[in-house]
């Protein structure tokens, strides 16, 4: 086709684009107008029209097909997506327990009840029932954190990134912070130790090499300007081979001998040992405090198994300084989070950490997982039998699960699952896309061209949800 012919086609196509009035009078638009309002529908049509014009100019549209059909097809897809809830429940069948993209830690029913009750009415968020005066939101959990960690004081903020930022801003602004080169961690792109140090107003002094940092490296870097020695948990990576790092005890002794603060970003924040054979031992917050760390920061929704938040535990004097910092106001935790966190902490206090889903999933034993895989296998087979589908192979299989959340990056956590192999022509990726499009979307693992539902991360009711997805697909 020549240049001029193409141009004619294009002009013809563009001229045939329907007007807004025409579009708004289409019968299927009425319901969407009721759901979202006329202005929103108009703005979405405008988005589609801009897109269609651009596609036509870039050669991405079939200029010989009816324009109205193309516009309607695109608009229906966009509008149905925008009309449905965006943040919705999914089934995590990936076997990754602390799955950051899927919301990290699910909460137990007792925590949900507390969230609903705090959110549905008024609460004692900043109110003291004893004297009818103003109270402090932090007070609901501070004693519990102190009790569970041995710290003198504790403060909660929006997340661990906030806890690190607040701690540094309150203790090291315009001063130097000594940190090992091997611990300059990046967590999920947006949290990088060098950047957070710079943002807090502190000056980073990186010492040692990637694989080895010695006590003398820290000692030699201390100047009049030094305020803090910082230790960072290398959560999501592991340096192996010829390595050396300095123990907490030695760093604490050095810091205190020189009148410095010893701070640790612990990341996950275990409150008690996990005691899972396949996972090595990780320090708890209490271990850090006992080793002489002045300030420990950690997440609420990683291995701790609570809501998204960050916690600072440690010296009363230093945490007092943080209470007076303006940043705290910007990082403060809301009532729903506090309500859930308090319940989670009380479960630890009672010795009932097995009631916390994240902890329970990590501790789930081989037999439990195997039985759950058998149950899921049976449920899927009965859907397939009912629909007389014989071409899909369903069997339980051993799996490799993962802790996730940047914890235990190299540990293999053996688990169980159910694998599905599709008849010819349907790739596992295609089938996974169908699972994601179900009423309750299911996010599976994929291994060697097969769909694998890892059962470790399934919650109450998820076997029925997966069966429901199968009913929908087949
Ligand atoms: C996860 C992690 C963070 C960030 O915590 P958020 O709660 O996600 O803000 C910071 N430091 C370390 C070492 C971590 O593992």
For the entire predicted model, the pTM comes to: 0.93
Strands 191-192 and 186-187: antiparallel
The confidence band for 174, taking pLDDT boundaries of 50, 70 and 90, is very high
Closest residue by CA, ligand 1 atom 7: 160
Question: Ligand 1 centre from 160 Cα, in Å?
Answer: 5
* Cβ–ligand 1 contact at 331 (below 6 Å): no
Residue 3: per-residue pLDDT: 54
Pocket test for ligand 1, best of 100, 101, 232, 267 (most atoms within 8 A of CB): 267
Question: Ligand 1 centre from 7 Cα, in Å?
Answer: 55
Instruction: Provide mean pLDDT across the span 119-134.
Output: 96
Strands 153-157 and 310-314: antiparallel
Question: Ligand 1 centre from 303 Cα, in Å?
Answer: 11
Question: Ligand 1 centre from 301 Cα, in Å?
Answer: 10
Pocket test for ligand 1, best of 99, 161, 182, 409 (most atoms within 8 A of CB): 161
The confidence band for 408, taking pLDDT boundaries of 50, 70 and 90, is confident
* Cβ–ligand 1 contact at 267 (below 6 Å): yes
- Percentage of the chain modeled with pLDDT above 90: 86
* Cβ–ligand 1 contact at 192 (below 6 Å): no
Q: Residue 87 has what DSSP assignment?
A: S
Which helix (DSSP H) or strand (DSSP E) does residue 67 occupy? Answer: helix 67-83
CA dist list (Å): 124 to 19, 135, 137: 55, 8, 8
Question: Ligand 1 centre from 361 Cα, in Å?
Answer: 21
The confidence band for 4, taking pLDDT boundaries of 50, 70 and 90, is low
Q: When comparing pLDDT for 62 and 350, which is higher?
A: 350
Instruction: Provide mean pLDDT across the span 236-249.
Output: 90
The confidence band for 202, taking pLDDT boundaries of 50, 70 and 90, is very high
User: What ligand 1 atom has the least distance to the C-alpha of 234?
Assistant: 13
Tell me how far apart the terminal alpha carbons of the chain are, to the nearest angstrom: 44
Confirm if 256 and 223 have CB atoms less than 8 A apart. no
Confirm if 145 and 313 have CB atoms less than 8 A apart. yes
Instruction: Provide mean pLDDT across the span 341-358.
Output: 98
Residue 171: per-residue pLDDT: 98
Could you give the CA distance from residue 432 to residue 93 in angstroms, rounded to a whole number?
Answer: 11
The confidence band for 139, taking pLDDT boundaries of 50, 70 and 90, is very high
Question: Ligand 1 centre from 419 Cα, in Å?
Answer: 33
Write down the mean pLDDT value for the chain: 94
Number of H helices, E strands in the chain: 19, 15
* Cβ–ligand 1 contact at 191 (below 6 Å): yes
* Cβ–ligand 1 contact at 462 (below 6 Å): no
Q: Which strand ranges, in their side-by-side order, compose the sheet holding 91-93?
A: 91-93, 442-447, 450-454, 413-421, 393-404, 96-98
411 pLDDT more than 90: no
Closest residue by CA, ligand 1 atom 15: 267
* Cβ–ligand 1 contact at 199 (below 6 Å): no
12 pLDDT more than 70: yes
Closest residue by CA, ligand 1 atom 11: 267
* Cβ–ligand 1 contact at 187 (below 6 Å): yes
């Amino acid at each position: 086709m020549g240049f001029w012919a193409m141009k004619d086609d294009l002009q013809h196509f563009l001229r045939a684009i329907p007007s807004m009035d025409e579009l708004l009078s289409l019968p299927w638009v009425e319901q969407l107008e009721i759901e979202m309002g006329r202005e929103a529908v108009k703005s979405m049509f405008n988005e589609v029209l801009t897109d269609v014009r651009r596609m036509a100019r870039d050669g991405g549209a079939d200029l010989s097909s009816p324009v109205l059909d193309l516009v309607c097809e695109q608009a229906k897809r966009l509008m149905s997506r925008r009309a449905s809830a965006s943040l919705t429940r999914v089934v995590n069948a990936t076997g990754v327990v602390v799955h950051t993209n899927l919301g990290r830690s699910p909460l137990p029913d007792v925590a949900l009840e507390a969230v609903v009750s705090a959110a549905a009415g008024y609460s004692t968020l900043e109110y003291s029932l004893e004297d009818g005066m103003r109270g402090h939101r932090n007070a609901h959990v501070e004693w519990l954190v102190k009790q569970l960690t041995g710290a003198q004081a504790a403060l909660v903020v929006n997340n661990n990134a906030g806890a690190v930022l607040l701690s540094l801003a309150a203790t090291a602004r315009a001063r130097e912070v000594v940190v090992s080169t091997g611990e300059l961690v990046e967590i999920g792109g947006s949290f990088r130790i060098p950047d957070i140090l710079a943002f807090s107003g502190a000056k980073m002094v990186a010492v040692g090499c990637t694989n080895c940092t010695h006590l003398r490296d820290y000692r030699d870097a201390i100047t009049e300007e030094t305020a803090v020695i910082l230790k960072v948990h290398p959560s999501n990576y592991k340096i192996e081979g010829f390595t050396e790092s300095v123990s907490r005890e030695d760093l604490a002794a050095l810091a205190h001998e020189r009148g410095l603060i010893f701070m640790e970003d612990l990341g996950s924040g275990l409150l008690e040992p996990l005691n899972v054979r396949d996972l090595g031992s990780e320090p708890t917050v209490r271990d850090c405090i006992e080793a002489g760390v002045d300030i420990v920061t950690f997440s609420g929704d990683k291995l701790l198994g609570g809501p998204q938040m960050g916690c600072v535990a440690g010296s009363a004097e230093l945490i007092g300084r943080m209470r007076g910092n303006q940043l705290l106001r910007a990082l403060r935790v809301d009532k729903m989070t506090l309500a859930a966190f308090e319940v989670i902490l009380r479960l630890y206090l009672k010795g009932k950490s097995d009631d916390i889903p994240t902890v329970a999933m990590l501790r789930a034993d081989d037999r439990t997982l195997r039985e759950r895989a058998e149950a899921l296998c049976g449920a899927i087979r009965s859907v397939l039998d009912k629909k007389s589908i014989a071409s899909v192979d369903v069997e339980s299989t051993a799996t490799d699960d993962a802790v996730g959340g940047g914890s235990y990056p190299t540990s293999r956590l053996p688990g169980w699952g159910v694998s599905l192999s599709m008849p010819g022509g349907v790739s596992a990726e295609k089938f996974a896309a169908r699972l994601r499009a179900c009423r309750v979307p299911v996010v599976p693992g994929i291994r060697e061209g097969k769909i694998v539902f890892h059962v470790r991360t399934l919650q109450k009711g998820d076997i029925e949800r997966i069966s429901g997805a199968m009913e929908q697909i087949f």
